[in-house]
């Protein structure tokens, strides 16, 4: 197709469109944005204008525009049109930008989803026992310390053909998805789910298929319907699900496994489990790995229990898949620093560190229960939760955020936790399972609430039940 000049006088001529699929159109515009030919603030043509120029349906252009918006290159300003987006916080993916807290200080920040730094085990003793020299015998040496694998394997819920360590849970999940997902594939996710998972899928060109939750995780009937779409993977959090705090029990795991075993045309489907809060969770460690041998990749992060800056997680599962992940890492970062691995090994085996993690687990449980009970006493129906986060229903997300900010409290908006189809349902006012979002939830990081529970519960309850005079 020959070069196309867009209808808007404010736009430069675009390069040739080799293909007029959503991906092809988005690719051309993305290259023009990245090269600077379409500068920040440039107004793009309307969907109908470009569809007419290219001889395609408006739906095709709309899908391209949505893809560009999800990757943060363009933004919609309603009736004013779509514009090339400023590159502020370009190092953050779109939903992570939505989660990022402003720089302005507040009295109490419960928005970040991070552990209480006062409850992390002390690193000083472990650091003192690490070798004074940073050395490795070979760039091709085994990328994991055998003693660390032995300790991790002893606590693994089910047998894994192999266990390796990587740079955090998102590193493990990202690299596993890269081995499984091709452009256009579908991946089942929790609804609501962890925003970076949704960003990852969009970067890979995959479609997220949201499945609603109850207090025990994914609903089996909803998963069965999702499997009719023939996804290549199921991505779930078995304990302390972020944002809801739901944890899967043995009965639910068996039900989900039965659904997967009986589904047609999903013989190659892989389940990826993100046990991000394992060592501070009070719930039983349950995995689908024992029920679906050879089909489960289990990821256990040590960020919540031992410190986010350690950037370390274990990944276990089918040997072929895990070794493909490791082989790809060897062409990039190579291995997780053996010094960091040695520090984690010390923390996992030294008595004082073990006691510190156990105390943190107890305190998080106490904080969750105290705030949950206080909110329910004030008429806010929050479900019992595990881990450090609580998913709170509100009459109006925006109104709640504004009112809490005025009280010096920051929580996370619920919208970034929604897949695109969930967000559309929310706008239409639909409702699903008890934990199904409707645009009217916020996430509260209870793990950071050290004191003042009643005062905070008063503020949260007031904000949850408040609607501003303007109707937002």
Q: What is the pLDDT of residue 431?
A: 35
Q: Is 440:414 a contact under the CB 8 Å cutoff?
A: yes
- CA dist 416 and 425 (Å) reads 14
Residues 60 and 155 in one domain: no
Tell me, yes or no, whether 204 and 291 share the same domain: yes
- Where are any strands of DSSP class E within 318-399? 389-393
Whole-angstrom distance, CA of residue 120 vs CA of residue 304? 8
Residue 174 domain-assigned? yes
Of the candidates 237, 238, 231, 236, the one whose C-alpha atom is nearest the C-alpha of residue 187 is: 231
> Are 177 and 296 within one domain?
yes
Residues 364 and 407 in one domain: yes
> Rounded to an integer, what distance in angstroms lies between the CA atom of residue 97 and that of residue 87?
11
Question: Does 258 share its domain with 128?
Answer: yes
3-state class of 122 per DSSP? coil
pLDDT score of 312:
94
Q: 222: helix, coil or strand?
A: helix
| C-alpha dihedral sign at 109, 114, 119, 121 | negative
**C-alpha–C-alpha distance, residues 262 and 418, integer Å:** 28
Q: Two tokens at 338?
A: 């053996």
Q: How many domains does the chain have?
A: 3
Q: Are 106 and 153 part of one and the same domain?
A: no
* Residues sharing a CB contact under 8 Å with residue 416, sequence separation 6 or more, in sequence order: 95, 96, 98, 99, 195
Are 77 and 145 members of one domain? no
* Structural domain contains residue 424: yes
Residue ranges of the chain with pLDDT lower than 70? Answer: 1-16, 18, 70-72, 87-92, 94, 97-104, 132-137, 420-439, 466-472
pLDDT at 91: 62
The answer to whether position 437 is within a domain reads yes
Q: Are 322 and 162 in contact (CB under 8 A)?
A: yes
- Of 351, 376, 393, the position where a domain reaches its end is 351
* List of residues 6+ apart from 77 with CB closer than 8 A: 83
CB 111 within 8 A of CB 311: no
In the DSSP assignment, the letter for residue 103 is S
CATH number at residue 40: 1.10.10.10
Q: Give the residue carrying structure tokens 């009736």.
A: 79
Measure Cα distances from 191 to 175, 239, 438 in Å.
Answer: 22, 15, 11
199 is a domain residue: yes
Q: Distance (Å, rounded) from C-alpha 63 to C-alpha 58?
A: 9
Contact partners, residue 465, CB within 8 Å, separation at least 6:
379, 380, 394, 395
- pLDDT (tens digit per residue) in 385-440: 999 999 999 998 888 888 888 888 999 999 899 886 564 444 333 333 444 434 58
Q: Which residue, 328, 351, 374, sits at the end of a domain?
A: 351
- Do 65 and 127 sit in the same domain of this protein? no
> 325 and 193, same structural domain?
yes
How far is the CA of 169 from the CAs of 99, 199, 304, 311, in angstroms?
A: 18, 15, 11, 8
* Structural domain contains residue 261: yes
**Helix (DSSP H) and strand (DSSP E) numbers for the chain:** 17, 15
192 and 334 fall within a common domain: yes
Report the CATH number at residue 432: 3.90.1150.10
**Burial class for 149, CB neighbours closer than 10 Å (0-12, 13-18, 19+):** buried
Contact in structure between 234 and 271 (CB atoms under 8 Å)? yes
Q: What are phi and psi of 294, to 5 degrees?
A: 80, 5
- Among 333, 351, 369, the domain boundary falls at 351
For residue 61, the enclosing domain spans: 22-84
Q: What DSSP character marks residue 180?
A: H
Which residues are within 8 A (CB) of 109 and not within 5 positions of it... i.e. 6 or more apart? 101, 410, 448
Give bridge partners of residue 233 from the DSSP assignment. Answer: 187, 270
Contact of 364 with 222, CB cutoff 8 Å: no
CATH of the domain at 187: 3.40.640.10
Place of tokens 């190092």: 91
Q: So what's the pLDDT on residue 57?
A: 92
In a domain, 6, yes or no: no
- Nearest C-alpha neighbor of 341 from the set 143, 54, 49, 204: 143
Q: Phi and psi of 184, rounded to 5°? A: 95, -10
Rounded distance, CA 43 to CA 12, Å? 11
Residue 470 domain-assigned (yes or no): no
Tell me: do 211 and 129 sit in the same domain.
yes
Residue 71 three-state SS: coil
User: Is 333 in the same domain as 202?
Assistant: yes
Q: What is the pLDDT of residue 11?
A: 41
In a domain, 67, yes or no: yes
């Amino acid at each position: 197709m020959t070069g196309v000049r867009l209808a808007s006088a404010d736009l430069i001529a675009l390069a040739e469109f080799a293909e007029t699929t959503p991906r092809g159109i988005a690719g051309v515009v993305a290259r023009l944005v990245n090269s600077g030919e379409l500068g920040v603030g440039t107004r793009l043509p309307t969907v109908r204008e470009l569809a007419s120029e290219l001889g395609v349906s408006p739906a095709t252009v709309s899908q391209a525009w949505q893809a560009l918006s999800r990757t943060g290159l363009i933004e919609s300003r309603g009736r004013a049109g779509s514009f090339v987006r400023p590159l502020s916080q370009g190092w953050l993916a779109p939903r992570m930008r939505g989660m990022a807290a402003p720089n302005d200080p507040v009295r109490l920040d419960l928005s970040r989803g991070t552990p209480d730094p006062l409850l992390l085990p002390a690193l000083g003793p472990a650091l003192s026992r690490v070798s004074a020299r940073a050395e490795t015998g070979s760039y091709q040496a085994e990328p994991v310390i055998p003693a660390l694998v032995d300790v991790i394997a002893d606590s693994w819920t089910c047998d894994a053909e192999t266990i390796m360590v990587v740079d955090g849970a998102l590193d493990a999940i990202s690299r596993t998805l890269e081995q499984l997902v091709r452009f256009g594939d579908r991946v089942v996710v929790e609804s609501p789910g962890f925003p970076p998972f949704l960003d990852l899928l969009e970067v890979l060109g995959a479609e997220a298929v949201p499945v609603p939750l109850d207090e025990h995780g994914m609903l089996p009937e909803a998963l069965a319907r999702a499997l009719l779409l023939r996804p290549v993977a199921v991505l779930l959090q078995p304990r302390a699900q972020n944002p809801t705090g739901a944890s899967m029990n043995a009965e639910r795991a068996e039900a989900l496994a039965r659904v997967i075993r009986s589904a047609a045309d999903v013989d190659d489907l892989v389940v990826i489990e993100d046990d991000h809060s394992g060592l501070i969770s009070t719930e039983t460690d349950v995995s689908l790995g024992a029920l679906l041998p050879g089909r489960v990749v289990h990821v256990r992060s040590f960020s919540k229990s031992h410190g986010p800056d350690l950037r370390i997680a274990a990944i276990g599962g089918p040997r072929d898949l895990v070794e493909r992940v490791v082989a790809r890492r060897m062409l990039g970062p190579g291995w997780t620093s053996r010094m960091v691995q040695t520090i984690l090994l010390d923390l996992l085996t030294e008595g004082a560190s073990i006691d510190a993690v156990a105390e943190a687990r107890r305190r998080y449980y106490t904080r969750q229960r105290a705030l949950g009970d206080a909110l329910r006493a004030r008429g806010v129906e929050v479900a019992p939760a595990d881990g450090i986060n609580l998913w709170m229903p509100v009459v109006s997300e925006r109104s709640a955020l504004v009112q809490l900010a005025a009280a010096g409290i920051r929580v996370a908006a619920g919208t970034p936790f929604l897949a695109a189809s969930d967000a559309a349902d929310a706008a239409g006012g639909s409702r699903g399972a008890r934990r199904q979002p409707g645009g009217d939830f916020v996430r509260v990081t209870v793990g950071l609430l050290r004191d003042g529970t009643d005062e905070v519960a008063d503020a949260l309850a007031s904000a949850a039940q408040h609607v501003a005079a303007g109707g937002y």
